[in-house]
Amino acid sequence: MATQRLKIGCAGLGRMGKRHALNFLERTPRAELVAASSPDPVELEWAKIHLEPFGVTLYQNYDDMLKHEGLVAVVVASATAVHAEQAIKAIEAGKHTLCEKPISTSPEVSQTVVDAAAKKPELKVMCGFSRRFDKSYRDAYQKMQAGAIGTASVLRSQTCDKLDPSGFFVAYAEFSGGIFVDCSIHDIDLTLWFFGNDCKVKSVSAIGNTAVEPDLRKHNDRDNAVGLVEFYDGRIAYFYASRMMAAGQEDVTEIIGTKGKLAINNQPAMNHVNIYDETGVRREIPQNYYDRFEYAFVTEANEFTACCLDNTALPLELENAVKAVRIGAALQESMVTEKKIYFDEDGKRSQLASL
């Protein structure tokens, strides 16, 4: 008897969409990529070469793809601005849904996806926070849970992209939600994971600068930013985001506890090769986010597929995606307004700090 496979479609065939499509096509044995959609003619031309010959039906219209015969699940990897809209359409059409982060740049819009998913409890709906599927982060989390560092009290995490001299980040800033929602959202999600879903934010504050791209200010964004989150139980999270790294991608996390510290990727490396030449001893590092987390995305695709086919629990809760966006949006606002933002213990904005 043939093994059951998850028939899935990919929405969006930009840089991230291509990666998701190929992962489900080539590296997820229990999935079958049967459809893909994009309104972009250039992306569809790519798909005619890389997807269509393998039996993938291509659609220019996302709504048409949702009607593809036998389609069971959708991965939403399109532009951030349409993540929520497309995720809700997939849910309402009865499709399991994997949505790229963030669900939306707005916590209110993000909540509409959670609400839609709540009406269809039989569906698996997940936001793809890729670092939760990385072997090193999972190992660090297990060590922390086992008490290796005592009580985790401070988390310092960063997402730092290699400088793109093309000006891509300036154009993208109009739609990205800003550096905290776009870049630091991963670090915020890690905080919710390592500190626990029940951690309550007391205040956020942030600063930033435009050291390379002053035009980012037109979109209330920066190319470097530092954010600080204080929790009601006294714990602290410190985030650094940058879009001007010279050598390559630098994604680093430290969890400091009462009995020790866990550090992930403190010395970024593409592989285990050291280069000895006239400049000294050096090693190459990942040039972009996908270089570092490629296998995490593959694991994510396989685990999502297994949850859909086996009806098992998803590895992360959809509600956390809303919490992450709420924190990221507040950090972005704090950076732009230069004001500290407070929350009460119910998660609602508060005008003054609690005494």
Model confidence pLDDT, tens digit, residues 215-251: 999 999 999 999 999 999 999 999 999 999 999 999 9
Indicate if the pLDDT at residue 355 is higher than 70.
Answer: no
- Residue 1 scores a pLDDT above 60: no
Q: What is the pLDDT of residues 176-211, one digit of tens each?
A: 899 999 999 999 999 999 999 889 999 999 999 999
Task: Retrieve residue 273's tokens.
Answer: 């090769």
* Rounded CA separation 289/68 (Å): 32
pTM: 0.95
pLDDT per position as a tens digit, 258-315: 999 999 999 999 999 999 999 999 999 999 999 999 999 999 999 999 999 999 999 9
CA-to-CA distance for 227 and 218, rounded, in angstroms? Answer: 20
What is the per-residue pLDDT for 129? 97
Side-chain-facing half-sphere of 145: CA atoms under 13 Å: 9
pLDDT of residue 260: 98
327 with 349: CB under 8 angstroms? no
- By the 8 A CB rule, do 318 and 125 touch? yes
| Structural domains in the chain plus CATH codes | 6-127 (3.40.50.720), 136-294+323-350 (3.30.360.10)
Pairing label, strands 280-282, 275-277 = antiparallel
| pLDDT tens digits, 170-182 | 888 888 899 999 9
The CA distance from 58 to 11, in Å, is 10
Contact by Cβ (8 Å): 310, 304 = no
Say whether pLDDT at 354 is over 50. no
Query: At 2, is the pLDDT very low, low, confident or very high (cuts 50, 70, 90)?
Result: low
Using a pLDDT cut of 90, give the percent of the chain over it.
Answer: 93
Q: What is the pLDDT of residues 63-120, one digit of tens each?
A: 999 999 999 999 999 999 999 999 999 999 999 999 999 999 999 999 999 999 999 9
pLDDT tens readout for residues 132-162: 999 999 999 999 999 999 999 999 999 999 9
Q: Are strands 73-76 and 6-11 parallel, antiparallel or unpaired?
A: parallel
User: What is the residue-averaged pLDDT of the chain?
Assistant: 95
pLDDT band at 351 (very low <50, low <70, confident <90, very high): confident
State the Cα–Cα distance between residues 13 and 45, nearest whole angstrom. Answer: 10
Chain CA centroid to CA 235, Å: 23
174 CA to centre of own chain? 18
Condensed to tens digits (0 to 9), the pLDDT of residues 302-340 reads: 999 999 999 999 999 999 999 999 999 999 999 999 999
Instruction: Look at residue 352 in the predicted model and tell me its pLDDT.
Output: 63
Beta strands in the chain (DSSP E): 6-11, 31-37, 57-59, 73-76, 96-100, 125-128, 152-162, 201-209, 224-231, 236-245, 250-257, 261-264, 275-277, 280-282, 341-343, 349-350
Complete edge-to-edge strand list for the sheet that includes strand 96-100: 57-59, 31-37, 6-11, 73-76, 96-100, 125-128
